[in-house]
Amino acid sequence: MGRDIGYRSILVPLADNAETEQALDVACRLAAEHRASITAVAVVEVPPSLPLDAHMFEEEAEAKQFVRRAESTGESYGIHVVGRVVHGREAGEVLAGEAAARKIDLVVVGARRRGRKPFGHTVEAVLRHSPCRVLVIAPPAEAIASRAAA
């Protein structure tokens, strides 16, 4: 197997955690190496009791802040990051849908490890529903075990 796996387009889900920052760094390095584009997506999860187009001002403002941060991280690597804020019920399914609609080659997602389950609901859904490769950026298992023991 040579270097035939090319990534022309990369999607990075945005959240407010260190793992997302690491995923964005990895995505920017890959984009620079493969001359790929990056789409950074923040999902505003809308409760079932509200219509999908409901205005959720606090959540939307926070999502726009994530997007601005992703765009400036991209700039520091010389990469143009296209930021998007999308409304949906379940973030993982919305992200997988975005990957399909945009014909994304790779999703780079930051993940926190959980106790018994390896990842949270959103990352699991991205892994299950994405039509492309998914690269999960997560801390090593030993780091979780030592944190739990402390």
Q: What is residue 7's predicted lDDT score, i.e. its pLDDT?
A: 86
Assigned domain for 88 exists: yes
Amino acid (one-letter) located at 59: E
Is residue 2 domain-resident?
no
Number of structural domains found in the chain: 1
Which residues lie closer than 8 Å to 99 by C-beta, 6 or more apart?
11, 107, 130, 131, 132
* Per-residue pLDDT, 139: 84
Write the pLDDT tens digit of every residue in 61-88. 999 999 999 999 999 999 999 999 999 9
For 113, the domain range is 9-149
CATH number at residue 137: 3.40.50.620
In a domain, 4, yes or no: no
**Higher-pLDDT residue of 55, 28:** 28
117 or 13: which leads in pLDDT: 13
126 Cβ contact list (under 8 Å, min separation 6):
13, 92, 95, 96, 107, 109, 134
Q: Is the pLDDT of residue 43 over 50?
A: yes
pLDDT at 1: 38
- pLDDT tens track for 96-147: 999 999 999 999 999 987 777 788 899 999 999 999 999 999 988 765 555 5
Side chain identity at residue 143, one-letter code: A
Assess if residue 1 is contained within a domain. no
Domain contains 39: yes
Within-domain flag for 56: yes
Q: What pLDDT score was predicted for residue 6?
A: 75
